Amino acid sequence: METLVLPAPAKLNLFLHITGRRADGYHELQSVFQFLDLHDVLSFTRLSSTAIEFQCSDAQLDTPDNLVVRAAQLLQSYQRVAQGARIILDKRLPYGGGLGGGSSDAATTLLALNQLWELNLTIDQLAELGLQLGADVPVFVRCHAAFAEGVGERLYPVQPTSPWYLVVDPRVHISTAELFQHPELKRDCAPLARESWQQQTTQNVFEPLVRQLYPEVAKALDWLVEYAPTRLTGTGACLFGAFESQELARAALARMPAQWNGFVARGLNESPVCQQLRQASTDNLTNQD
């Protein structure tokens, strides 16, 4: 197996609560992650040298500091790998909008190179490595919708419903650091039992602040809620509405104001990355036979 082509799916935070703040300044969170059937695409080719060659379809992200490169180098260093890789990222997800695209790209890189380089690291080991790159990376490594606690690293598989979502990108850059430091951020949510959380009784605690600080996001939230239950994902700026059918979601998308971007996608409880890796592994074993 010399080349792998794999997806890196988007995610939504179906809710996002803060239950406290630790002595080290990090916030204690609770959230549920669910994947979307919209994704970036990454191609990995094994190299005999130790070089990590990287190309990205988006020139702004085509840098040595991209999380894809950092993930490859981290794995290489961790296992003292004497191989390299050529990695090509076809960037299709909006970045900086709370959809986890960069974290997903990094997770797919860890999973792909673990298989391509035949390292045989466990998912637990890869998730622990991923946490060094970002709090959202482990959920993409584990490939299952999850109830998250801590800084997002304690993950418990869940099975939320899988509606069709209309995701709206108001094309606004939001400073996550600013929001986390804001004095009006709600940090005292009562902890939820992960077995009994309900979408109707949760919220995204960042939404009131984002509404206040970013009027364009507030406009988008007010527009979409006319069509479906609507919520901010992560710290934004993207937001999503849940629909019973693809047709209803597409009908709302057709009426979306032209100044925003948007797309329709299905919620997924298993990431397509692990499905495709299992298939690639099976195909490889069959070819060897």
Angle at which helix 67-79 crosses helix 123-131, to 10 degrees, equals 120
Query: The whole model's pTM is what?
Result: 0.94
Residue 67 pLDDT > 80: yes
Range list of β-strands (E), 111-163: 146-150, 154-157
Residues forming the active site: 11, 136
pLDDT for position 95: 83
pLDDT for position 151: 85
Interatomic CA distance for residues 10 and 95, integer angstroms: 10
How does pLDDT run across 233-273, given as a tens digit for each residue? 999 899 999 999 999 999 999 999 999 999 999 999 999 99
How does pLDDT run across 98-137, given as a tens digit for each residue? 999 999 999 999 999 999 999 999 999 999 999 999 999 9
Task: Name the band, by pLDDT with cuts 50, 70 and 90, for residue 195.
Answer: confident
